[in-house]
Structure 1
Amino acid sequence: MKILFIGDIFGSIGRDMINDYLHRLVNDLKIDFVIANVENTSHGKGLLKRHYDELSFCGIQAMTMGNHTFDKKELYDYIDEADKLVVPINQPKVLPGVKTRVFDVKGKKIRVTNVLGVAFMDSRYSNPFEAIDEYLDLKQDIHIIDFHGEATSEKIAFAHYVKDKASAVLGTHTHVQTADEKIIDGKLAFISDAGMTGPYMSAIGCDLDSIVKRLKGSSAPFIVAKSSGQLSGVVMTFENNSPIKIERILINQDHPYL
């Protein structure tokens, strides 16, 4: 079983990269199941219905979210019908959405769960270490957790916490791919951040000049960068429901896909 997890899809350039490369990756790497973090898909924040449909058509089979889940209010209108979408388990309880889903893939039950970190994040979120407990003894063959958080230390500690009961903890949110992919204790595939699929020459997807102005004290708006694209993620290989390999995927002008 080979599972491709794609890091945060950001704006139209991220969607273009999915259109350009996903089919090739699935065919070339013999991918069985595709998961992507999609909370930045629509103009950098949130997910519009037409973009949910576009990504579904491209072949993304499960979609995780994050702190921008409900930035596009249209989500409230279609979330009950979005059968690929997984929202964070520890978002405020008043918010709707399915927090964990099981997908049937080639006779295997793959569970996908979404978790929000709290270190340097919104204080409304409940403790992920406590929230995950009720999801660790559910039935499935493979359990993939998207940990959407700011701090690498929190992600590493979380992976250690769940390593005996989950199959993978894949970090998202920082939009910068880390080089610490590993199989922990032969049980759990891990990376601190899978990276971003969006504008390559940017500050985590945003226009560099606008970010510099903000950092110098201006109230300049966040602007989605216009540049060439990149696609980031990881491919995991499972045997007998256990991870045996995790490899980074990075495609951009400096790392062309051959």
Structure 2
Amino acid sequence: MRILYIGDIVGRAGRDLVCRQIPHLRQDLGVDFVIVNGENAAHGFGITEKICQALFAAGADVIVTGNHVWDQREIIDFIDSEPRLLRPLNYPAGTPGRGVDVYELPDRRRVAVAQVQGRLFMHAIEDPFRALGAVVDECRLGAQAHAIFVDFHAEATSEKMALGHFLDGRVSAVVGSHTHVPTADAQILPGGTGYLTDVGMCGDYDSVIGMEKRTATARLTQVLPTDRLEPAHGEATLCAVLVETDDASGLAVGIEPLRLGGRLSQTPARHLA
């Protein structure tokens, strides 16, 4: 199975690029399942129902979010009715929405997608390790699901790496999001789990993590009030990762980053095509 995970969409520049590219990537790379992080898609802060529907129409199978999931209040009502939209699993009991679900492909193969949020340098929420441990104990790779994909929305690289090793051999892939900067450590861990510390963002990299650089820099260099942060509107780069799994075991047999367009060096997923 080929699973494409597309990193944090930031504003219109990222949105438009992702919606244009998903159909081509599905066809050119033989992708079976597409996951998109949309938590910064609405002008850099949260996501709306309209944006979700546009991403689904473009070919996204699941949208994950993160710490900005509630920035657009309208999503609170929508998320309970849309199983393809996930928020972090380790939010308190009673929080709207869900953090994990199993999705069936047309050929009857099943993909479990789970998202957790980190605790280092972020809000003090429930333990992501314990939350995911319970999930993989109940939904076993190669039994209840042909593939299990985990998005770890976290600040600290150490926390992300630790979760990768914690889940090694029990899930197909652990991929980090949130920092908006792609890392160069894509690998298959000893137990067979694909791992990448951060997939990066889909947005204009002539910016400060997707936001207009002048205002973002002013916030860090002066004590005066600044304008509201706005997404940068230049040419965007699409950052993603392609994971290929073995249908029998559910473990990864390949993992390769993908960067298209914009300012960053281009890395088409040649070896998995």
If the TM-score is normalised by the length of the shorter chain, which range does it land in? over 0.9
Q: Does 1:246 align with 2:247?
A: no
Local SS of the residue matching 1:96: coil
Residues 52-88 of structure 1: CA deviation (Å, up to 9, x unaligned): 1100100000111100111110012211221211111
Partner of 1:162 in structure 2? 167
Q: Please list every run of 5 or more consecutive structure 2 residues that lacks an aligned counterpart in the other structure.
A: 269-273
1:45 is displaced (CA, Å) by 1.1
Inter-partner Cα distance in structure 1 for 2:95 and 2:117: 14
Q: Does 1:234 align with 2:241?
A: yes
Q: 2:51 matched to which residue of 1?
A: 51
Which ranges of structure 1 fall in alignment gaps of 5 or more residues?
none
RMSD (CA atoms): 1.5
Helix, strand or coil at the partner of 2:18: helix
Aligned residues: 257
> What is the CA–CA distance in structure 1 between the aligned matches of 2:235 and 2:267, rounded to whole Å?
14
Q: What is the one-letter code of the residue matched to 1:52?
A: C
Structure 1 residue matching 2:17: 3-state secondary structure: helix
Query: What are the equivalent positions in structure 2 for 1:90-239 lying under 5 Å apart?
Result: 90-105=90-105, 106-123=107-124, 125-137=125-137, 138=139, 139-217=144-222, 218-220=224-226, 221-239=228-246
TM-score, normalised with respect to structure 1: 0.95
Aligned to 1:26: 26
Amino acid corresponding to residue 103 of structure 2 in structure 1? F
Indicate the SS of the match to 1:85: coil
Please state whether the residue corresponding to 2:237 is helix, strand or coil: strand
SS in 2 for 1:36: strand
Q: Displacement, 1:92? A: 2.9
Aligned-pair distance for 1:200? 2.4
What SS class does the counterpart of residue 116 from structure 2 fall into? strand
Contact 2:100 2:113 in 1 (8 A): yes
Identity %: 35
Q: Is the 8 A contact 2:171 2:251 kept in 1?
A: no
Higher normalized strand content (fraction of residues): 1
CA distance in 2, matches of 1:37, 1:207: 20
